[in-house]
Every structure is written in C-alpha cells, then in structure tokens.
Structure 1
C-alpha cells in the first residue's frame, strides 16, 4: 500500500498524539480504537481477521486486514509515521511479540503493548516496551479496592504511587487542612475536594472538610490505602 494512502505525521510537534495505530481489534484494541476516533484522533486499525476488519469499516479513519508480524507490511502501511502504536494482540503471544519487535525497530512511535500474563509482560519489557498494559489484571486490582467499600475510585501509577477517591475520616473533618499535618502524620496529601452537588476543586491550607465531602488522596500505595480505612 502506498505511503501517501495516509496523511503525513509529526510526533515532534506536540506531546499529544494526533495519530495512533492500533494493532489487534479485539475487545480491548477495538474499544480503544473507537474511543480514540471519538476524540478526534486519526486511527489506523489493523487486524488479521477479515470479519473483524469489516465490522470496523466506516467507524475508524483507516482499517485494514494485514499480517502485522511482517516488517515490510508495517512499512507499507506507514506505521512508522504514526505518533503512537498500540499492540492489542492478546490471544497470540508470538504475534504480539513479533509485531512489537518490528515496531521497535522503527524507533519512532511510542508503543503501548497489551500483555495477558506476567511472563508475557516481562518479555515485552525486556524488548524495551515502556508501556506494558494488563487490562484484566489492572482492572481486577482496581475493582478489588472498590469492593472493599472505603474507596470510591482508585488509580495506581508507577513507583508505588496512587490516587484514591474516598470520604474524609473523622480525624480530618471540621478543621483547616493546613493545621492537620497530614503529610507528616499519614504520609499523604489531600489534593482535591468535592462538595455534595458541587464540582471538584483544588484544596488549600484553609480548606475545611466535612463528612459528606469526597476527596482525592495521593501518596504511596500503603499509606494512602491505610488512610482511606481510617474511621
């Protein structure tokens, strides 16, 4: 396929991706591709299954049936010119690894790759993939925290850092945050608050919390989780 089938891309112009190639249009890759398209991103969807490709016709900027394990095919599709690449292949680990290694050779797009197991994730990391995604694993951990009841939402980042949406424990209510010494006492910071019927806003040293507020807590995983369980 000719290079000019797709528009020219420049990753250096902005940190925000204007074009993304999604390889593997299963539940994860397909949902991701549709969401990116809905946000106005140029999306190239690639899958080896003709029926899947046909189901995305008219829904993505470009969608093609192709063998993504072949470097020459990826070059013909101008994959190296896209700002980001997502390898969402989950059922075929060999195809996932081969596809990822081919894209890494281009040394151009930032790569996100889906892993279906810890060994799969380790191999992708050893290849040099900086963004390894384990959707089922990560969602399971998140939902587990929600099921426990004291946490309303939970986001875990790298380096043992989390942000938690919860309600204020009794010990931090009815007094300005600036006098509580939360960082020294609990190792956490309350960065935002939402009043009933209101919207989220940043906290200040003068912010006073009440029992019907919601708050965003940030800190290490152990300290933030411990804080969220306080009565």
Structure 2
C-alpha cells in the first residue's frame, strides 16, 4: 500500500517502510486517479488535524471505489460525518483512549474495551459476590447482565470460563455485556 502525504519530511521518514511513498495532495481527485487509488483494496485516512481535508480525502476515496476505507476522526462529530459519508471504519483514537483511561482510573477495572455503543469487555478482579461459586451458581447473567468469559488465577494463564468454573478470591475475570452492566459489575467491589 502506498503512503501519500503533502509533507515531504513525513514521506521521506516512511519511504523505507512503505513500498511507495509519494508527496501529493489527496484532496485532489485527479492526483488520486493518477496515483491509481481506484486499484487499492483498502485505504487509511490518517488526517488528524484538518477535518475538511479528512472529509474530502474520504469522499474522494469513496468516489474512486476503494472498497475498504479506515478513517481517523478527531471528535465524535467528525466521526459521525465520516460514517454518514460512507467510511467503512471510523476510528477515534484520542476519544477511545481517553474513555479507556477514565474507566481504569475511576474504578476497579484492569482493562476496558468498548466494541459498540452499548457492548463492552472488562477485565477486573472478581467481586466477592461471585467468589466460591461457578458463574451459573452466582447467576451473573440474570442478576448483573454480564457473562464471565475468561478467568486468570494468580500465577496461571487466562483460561475460558465454563458454567462449572469456580471463581476464587483474587481471580481476575473477563466479563462481557452491556456497557453500563459491565461497569456496574466491575465496580461492585
């Protein structure tokens, strides 16, 4: 995949890493046509400071028929515009990193990953309410709306949790479910 940017220093920096690195203006449809972007199977729009340029480049790539476009957004509003435009994947790295750090700092979560607007995965130390019984016995799904999918005992590797896995004190567990449900479960203490 070629790398295209207007900044010659950036292009030089990545010229050893990428098969083709070109100094060009991607907001110009004729330039993109000449560079053959219509033949690409995927493209990444990593413009993070100029919202207008990001939208124009994404639009140009869509118009060129690139079937798999990943676009970076610098705000949720920018992300919504890119989604409405037709970008196949919109990434909000600053927002997502900030959300993840906020979850880790404010509660008992060891890790937090949001998969959709209302679905997340959380790594946390098992709350006392589920210690000593398997997930089915503690009724985590019906009581708390989460599913225990993994477990790590001290000194061991992570393993899949089953209906018969007994959760011990100090075990680290991975739970999935609605975002609010996994947040509440992880913060039970």
Q: TM-score per shorter chain, which class?
A: over 0.9
- Residues 107 and 186, structure 2, Cα contact 8 Å, conserved in 1: no
User: Unpaired runs of 5+ in structure 2?
Assistant: none
Q: Which residue of 1 aligns with 2:164?
A: 206
Aligned with 1:58: secondary structure? coil
- Residues 81 and 109, structure 1, Cα contact 8 Å, conserved in 2: no
Q: Which residue of 2 aligns with 1:9?
A: none
Per-residue CA deviation, residues 127-165 of structure 1 (Å, 9 max, x unaligned), is 122322211111101100111240000000114000001
Per-residue CA deviation, residues 76-103 of structure 1 (Å, 9 max, x unaligned), is 3232332321111111222111100011
Q: Distance in 1 between matches of 2:19 and 2:158?
A: 35
Q: Distance in 1 between matches of 2:177 and 2:145?
A: 7
Q: Distance in 2 between matches of 1:127 and 1:144?
A: 30
Q: Distance in 2 between matches of 1:107 and 1:82?
A: 9
Name segments (4+ residues, structure 1) moved above 4 Å.
none
- Residues 120 and 176, structure 2, Cα contact 8 Å, conserved in 1: yes
Deviation at 1:185, TM superposition (A): 0.6
User: Unpaired runs of 5+ in structure 1?
Assistant: 1-42
TM-score (norm 2): 0.93
Q: Which residue of 2 aligns with 1:155?
A: 113
Q: Which residue of 1 aligns with 2:29?
A: 71
The answer on 1:129 being equivalent to 2:120 is: no
Q: Which residue of 2 aligns with 1:28?
A: none
RMSD: 1.5
TM-score (norm 1): 0.77
Q: Which residue of 2 aligns with 1:197?
A: 155
The answer on 1:139 being equivalent to 2:97 is: yes
Aligned with 2:77: secondary structure? helix
Deviation at 1:72, TM superposition (A): 2.5
